[in-house]
């Protein structure tokens, strides 16, 4: 026998357009919901694939509504009956047998009127259709009415028909000693019926056994009848065949309909319990392992980079800012006058830089007189015609006098200038003085150098010697000298 798929009115597969649709429903309706509209032009549309379809719903009392059903452009006029009392589970419209394939059912409201003070409707409760044999069963729900031939009854069962409160307008009632049985394949099964239909004051109690595992249903006695009640609901079932057996134990067990959920993508009423195959487990394990490896890799990179930069900062010395060495140039006149007043006889000046007033010290480029010239008595003496300035070492200094040297800012060892004028024997002091004057720029009290006082061009091989002033005091210790000097009248001496 073919299965019937049940679609609730609230399903997203049904589209309501074109007007105001009202939601309602009671415990007598499937899913306890129902939908209706009185607005002209309101349309309900449902696409499906199968061989038959029907619409089940309810009629309000003293209400008449008209409309049209269209199935694949085949139009059918609909007129609801005018009833003195409401009726439920009524077949509003059914199709003739259809060719297997996709179809579209649509209903459009034309008009709706009621003689009651309250508005009356035609309610859509659910749709039943026969699916295509090869259609996918994913998400489908099968409806089995109590009179479905796949349900077998044993014992003395009461069959009730034409009851508007029962699905399919009927139900089966059995007492102790009766049973029913259903063999099926599916993922779940549930039994629905009514309770409280006993007049002897006996509570209803029944046993439901699924694959030989019994479950007891029991409810207190009630004088009123409750319809559309869930009596049994199974858990998710494993794939394969199953057997459901229901047995009344006390009172009357009323069976109205059963709901089956098939296994996905099967044609029969089957079921499977959620299981993970070994392939799925392997994929999950691989994904988890890959994620862990990624986290470990990122952690390793972060730690490595931190240690790398930490090692660099610990081992790499800080580089000082590079700047040219300080070169001090001071006023020669003040240097000579100050040194002459405090100079000790027989002692050379070894302090560098000399202690001078702050206004006499200024930063300037290195001067050619930074390196003292070589004494003419030395074997490495260079003629004044040679404009180059030669460096001398400690070994070139005459052993007859001390090698007065100091460390300059450039790091070279240089001979300190001799200032033993008139107080000691220094046969080359005059020559040294002349040599320094020859290399030093001319001094101008005005702070400017005029054209007439410019130093000779570098292209000149010999520079003119400045005039050495003479005084009445002869130089002590130099015999045969025709020149006399006074320390206070000496030209400025430039040193570093």
pLDDT digits (tens, 9 = 90+) for 179-215: 999 999 999 999 999 998 776 778 899 999 999 889 9
pLDDT over 50 (residue 297): yes
**Mean per-residue pLDDT, 325-351:** 44
When comparing pLDDT for 196 and 9, which is higher? 9
Paired sense of beta strands 122-131 and 4-8, if any? antiparallel
More confident residue, 270 or 123: 123
390, 435 Cβ separation under 8 angstroms: no
* pLDDT for res 199: 65
State residue 409's pLDDT score. Answer: 40
Q: What is residue 339's predicted lDDT score, i.e. its pLDDT?
A: 41
* β partners of residue 75: 70
Q: For residue range 12-49, what is the model confidence (pLDDT) as tens digits?
A: 999 999 989 999 999 999 999 999 999 999 999 999 99
The CATH superfamily of 138-275 is: Galactose-binding domain-like (2.60.120.260)
The pLDDT of 89-104, averaged and rounded, is 96
% of the chain exceeding 70 in pLDDT? 57
Angle at 417 between CA 415 and CA 422, to 5 degrees: 140
Asked whether the predicted pLDDT for residue 3 surpasses 90, the reply is yes
pTM flag (> 0.75): no
What pLDDT score was predicted for residue 292?
A: 81
Gap between the Cα atoms of 149 and 191, Å rounded: 16
What is d(CA 219, CA 171) in angstroms, rounded to the nearest whole number? 19
Mean pLDDT computed over every residue of the chain:
73
Instruction: Quickly state the pLDDT bin for 282 (edges 50, 70, 90).
Output: low
Model confidence pLDDT, tens digit, residues 108-120: 999 999 887 678 8
Compute the average pLDDT of residues 341-364. 45
Q: The domain 1-135 belongs to what CATH superfamily? A: Galactose-binding domain-like (2.60.120.260)
- pLDDT tens-digit series, residues 428-472: 555 665 665 555 555 444 444 444 444 444 444 455 555 555 444
Please, which pLDDT band fits residue 73 given cuts at 50, 70 and 90? confident
pLDDT value at position 315? 53
pLDDT score for 265: 73
Q: Quick one: pLDDT at residue 277?
A: 42
Helices (H) and strands (E) in the chain, counts: 3, 26
d(CA 295, CA 290): 9
Q: Do domains 1-135 and 138-275 have the same CATH topology?
A: yes
pLDDT at 230: 96
Pairing of strands 101-114, 63-71: antiparallel
Q: What are the structural domain ranges in the chain? A: 1-135, 138-275, 323-443+465-496
CA distance 92 to 123: 9
């Amino acid at each position: 026998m073919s299965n019937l798929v049940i679609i609730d009115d609230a399903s997203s597969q049904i589209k309501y357009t074109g007007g105001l649709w009202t939601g309602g429903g009671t415990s007598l309706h499937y899913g306890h919901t129902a939908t209706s509209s009185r607005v002209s032009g309101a349309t309900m549309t449902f696409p499906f694939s199968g061989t038959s379809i029907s619409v089940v719903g309810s009629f309000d009392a003293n209400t008449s509504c008209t409309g049209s059903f269209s199935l694949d452009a085949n139009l059918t006029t609909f007129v609801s009956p005018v009833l003195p009392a409401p009726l439920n589970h009524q077949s509003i419209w059914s199709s003739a047998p259809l060719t297997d394939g996709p179809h579209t059912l649509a209903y459009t409201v034309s008009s709706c009127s009621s003689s009651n003070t309250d508005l009356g409707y035609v309610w859509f409760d659910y749709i039943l259709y026969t699916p295509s044999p090869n259609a996918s069963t994913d998400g489908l729900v099968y409806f089995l009415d109590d009179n479905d031939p796949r349900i077998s009854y044993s014992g003395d069962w009461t069959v009730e028909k034409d009851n508007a409160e029962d699905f399919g307008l009927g139900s089966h009632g059995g007492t102790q000693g009766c049973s029913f049985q259903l063999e099926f394949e599916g993922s779940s099964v549930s039994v629905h019926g009514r309770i409280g239909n006993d007049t002897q004051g006996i509570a209803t109690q029944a046993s439901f056994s699924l694959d030989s595992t019994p479950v007891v249903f029991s409810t207190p006695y009630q004088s009123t009848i409750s319809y559309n009640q869930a009596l049994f609901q199974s858990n998710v079932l494993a794939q394969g065949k199953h057997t459901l057996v229901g047995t009344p134990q006390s009172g009357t067990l009323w069976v109205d309909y059963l709901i089956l959920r098939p296994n996905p993508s099967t044609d029969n009423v089957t079921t499977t319990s959620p299981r993970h195959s070994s392939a799925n487990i392997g994929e999950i394990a691989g994904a988890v392992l890959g994620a862990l490896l990624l986290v470990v890799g990122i952690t390793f990179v972060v730690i490595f980079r931190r240690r790398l930069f930490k090692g660099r900062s610990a081992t790499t010395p800080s580089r000082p800012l590079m700047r040219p060495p300080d070169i001090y140039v001071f006023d020669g006149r003040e240097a000579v006058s100050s040194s002459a007043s405090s100079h000790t006889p027989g002692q050379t000046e070894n302090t560098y830089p000399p202690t001078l007033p702050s206004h006499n010290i200024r930063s300037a480029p290195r001067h050619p007189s930074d390196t003292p010239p070589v004494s003419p008595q030395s074997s490495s003496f260079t003629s004044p015609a040679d404009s180059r300035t030669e460096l001398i070492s400690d070994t070139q200094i005459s052993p007859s006098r001390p090698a007065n040297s100091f460390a300059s800012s450039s790091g070279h060892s240089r001979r300190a200038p001799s200032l033993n004028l008139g107080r000691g024997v220094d046969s080359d002091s005059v020559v040294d003085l002349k040599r320094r004057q020859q290399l030093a720029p001319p001094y101008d009290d005005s702070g400017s150098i005029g054209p007439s006082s410019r130093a000779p061009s570098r292209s000149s091989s010999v520079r003119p010697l400045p005039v050495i002033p003479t005084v009445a005091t002869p130089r002590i210790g130099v015999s045969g000298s025709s020149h006399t000097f006074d320390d206070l009248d000496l030209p400025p001496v430039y040193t570093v």
